[in-house]
């Protein structure tokens, strides 16, 4: 609707429940493919297939935008993620899991608050980041079943194998 309202008639949006359905598309038909918060949150077999599929689907001058979780930064986030998942284990609904996990992280921050401590700073920063996230985004991203961060050099090697060329970091 936004594309049409803007007069952008040459845009097609492909939404599919089964990401592997992309394999059935025959021609390199896309100028842009955007994988926002998807790459790290799919099963490893799908993650392994995504870059080659996208490389095949892009037009000659096409651009693939991939937002993914990277190490070493995600090692700290993995600590917080594991804590929140453990705290919310057994909750009946995703809403309950998120609520319990947020409260547990609040309690941990209060209990561990120490001036000048690197771990306390990590917890404080992650709490601020998590507090800014909508519950659905938190559930899909940090608290999702699948979360497979990668090192940047490994990602770039996989991109190269898929005949994709690195252009830039978004940050």
The helix/strand count (H/E) of the chain reads as 7, 4
The predicted structure's pLDDT at residue 16: 65
Tokens encoding 155: 């990602």
Mean pLDDT by 10 residues, the chain (171 residues): 85 69 74 86 90 90 92 92 95 94 94 87 92 90 90 95 89 68
What is the model's pLDDT at position 83?
Answer: 94
According to the model, what pLDDT value does residue 19 have? 67
Report how far Cα 126 is from the mean position of its chain's Cα atoms.
16
- pLDDT value, residue 17: 67
The Cα 143–Cα 135 span in angstroms is 10
């Amino acid at each position: 609707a936004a594309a049409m309202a803007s007069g952008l008639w040459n845009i097609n949006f492909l939404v599919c429940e089964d990401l592997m359905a992309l394999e059935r598309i025959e021609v390199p038909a896309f100028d842009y493919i955007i994988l926002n918060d998807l790459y790290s949150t799919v099963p490893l077999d799908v993650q392994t297939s995504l870059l080659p599929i996208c490389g095949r689907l892009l037009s000659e001058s096409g651009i693939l935008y991939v937002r993914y979780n990277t190490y070493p930064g995600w090692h700290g986030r993995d600590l917080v993620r594991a804590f929140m998942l453990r705290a919310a284990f057994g909750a009946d609904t995703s809403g309950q899991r998120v609520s319990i996990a947020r409260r547990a992280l609040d309690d941990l921050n209060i209990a561990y608050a120490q001036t000048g401590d690197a771990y306390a700073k990590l917890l404080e920063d992650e709490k601020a980041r998590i507090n800014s996230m909508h519950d659905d985004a938190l559930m899909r991203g940090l608290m999702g079943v699948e979360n497979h961060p990668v090192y940047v050099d490994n990602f770039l090697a996989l991109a190269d194998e898929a005949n994709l060329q690195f252009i830039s970091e978004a940050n």
